[in-house]
Chains A and B, each alone.
Chain A
């Protein structure tokens, strides 16, 4: 059954062997990382360019990866540079401008940058950078307060059909931003016209969560990592998530796919090299990163981030990025078209 959203997401599994085998198969199909010759410990220095401030999402991912690389001995020295501004645009511009000087530097990117590139908010598109590898992903979640009358996604969908303005959805991004897009993705796939559900923008996921808890809004669209803790505490109920399969840390939460709603979305985070990076260099760093994701040190770091492994590199990563971009582009168009339709 052709779906506009091809499932390309790596299966997360507790069994490293399966993971390893899968990745190796991928590697065989694409370019293999030499298990013998390419000793990753010759990664003397790796510098991370973080397009956001200290403590933010990009920053914590970069530092987690850096720590894991350092502790597992894969990299001798890691350093970080925070260059926030323009929602990441400043860092991209800087990276491209100084490409000649950026030896052993990787740029931390994510879905958010693709969304902003497509929205014309960045002077340079992220696809001017050379993709190296992705490491983690966060999936979208639709959440209600624990005492909400809405027990599952089906009920939410019915409520939207009957009385659209009654259930307002909070999200941690501006209109047209990620949380809004995830909501629209789910709603459109469930058969509703775009822009039907009122979306209330907040500055960050934490604020949006507060809004849900206080009863200001009835539903929340945000990343799983932002509500996992609240869900454990019993403060909220996650109606559905946008991953291809149920997540091990949330065994009772259904995915939209299994509920018959054809919507999948991953907020991935990965690393990019400067334009003009050689293929050898790209492969070398990608291999180091991939090797790192198999270390126990990474496992510690990753679980601290409360994010899911999502490791892709080489042509597989390139292909994924292309499809991801297409998905987002189509989604953003529907949202804009839907907004216009709603006012006519």
Chain B
């Protein structure tokens, strides 16, 4: 199983390198400099080749290594993909809301949601920890450093 996933990962890299290399062909070259040895495309092309070589090597060798290793593997603990996904979702939601509902509101919501995702169930500390940091941060930036964070602006966005 491990060998398979290692190989899969390496193949993912191969796909990535191919994608990169293909995109590199669309790079414009400064007019008149096409004849030069090294152009804006050279480096990307070079990297594509090296990347492909490495990825293919890993696909072959590391896969074999993993097979050998697999013999003495202890039982792996369960991974909490749900929590992981939830945390990411909450972060994305925060980014979405940041410029719409403003810094203080979105940060408070995010911290509260984040803490809930991580398993916090005590309400009082949760609310305190969700409200205090954004306020402190906002005050520090707005007044001490004259840096403006977004405020509520959904209708206009």
Contact = CB atoms under 8 A, between A and B. Distances in A.
Direct contact of A and B (CB under 8 A): yes
Interface of A: 79-81, 98, 100-101, 175-176, 195, 336, 338-343
A176 B30 contact: yes
B31 A336 contact: yes
A79 B156 contact: no
Nearest to B153: A101
Given A79-B146, A195-B32, A340-B32, 9 more contacts: A80-B146, A101-B153, A101-B156, A175-B33, A176-B30, A340-B31, A341-B32, A342-B32, A343-B33
Given A79-B146, A81-B148, A339 B156 contact: no
B156 A338 contact: no
B35 interface: yes
Interface string B19-33: 000000000001111
A336 B156 CA distance: 42
Contacts of B148: 79, 81
Contacts of B156: 98, 100-101
Contacts of A341: 32
Nearest to A176: B30
Interface of B: 30-35, 146, 148, 153, 156
Q: Which of B32, B34, B35, B146 has the most chain A CB within a 10 Å cutoff?
A: B32
Contacts of A340: 31-32
B151 to A, nearest CB: 11
Nearest to B36: A343
A93 to B, nearest CB: 14
A98 B34 CA distance: 41
A49 B146 CA distance: 14
B30 A175 contact: yes
Contacts, number: 27
Given A81-B148, A98-B156, A100-B156, A338 B32 contact: yes
A176 B34 CA distance: 15
Nearest to A79: B146
A59 to B, nearest CB: 13
Given A98-B156, A100-B156, A101-B156, A339 B33 contact: yes
Contacts of A81: 148
Contacts of A342: 32
Contacts of B30: 175-176, 339
Given A98-B156, A101-B156, A339 B146 contact: no
B110 to A, nearest CB: 23
A339 B33 CA distance: 7
B28 to A, nearest CB: 10
A79 B31 CA distance: 42
B123 to A, nearest CB: 37
Contacts of B31: 336, 339-340
A98 B156 CA distance: 8
B146 A343 contact: no
A120 B35 CA distance: 24
Contacts of A338: 32
A176 B28 CA distance: 14
A100 B33 CA distance: 44
Nearest to B35: A343
A343 B32 CA distance: 6
A176 B32 CA distance: 12
The 5 closest A-B pairs by CB, nearest first: A339-B32, A336-B31, A339-B31, A340-B32, A343-B32
A281 to B, nearest CB: 20
A342 B31 CA distance: 10
Nearest to A174: B30
A284 to B, nearest CB: 24
Contacts of A101: 153, 156
A338 B156 CA distance: 47
Contacts of A336: 31-32
A63 B56 CA distance: 54
A341 B156 CA distance: 51
Nearest to B156: A101
A221 B34 CA distance: 24
A338 B153 CA distance: 50
A10 B53 CA distance: 61
A79 B156 CA distance: 22
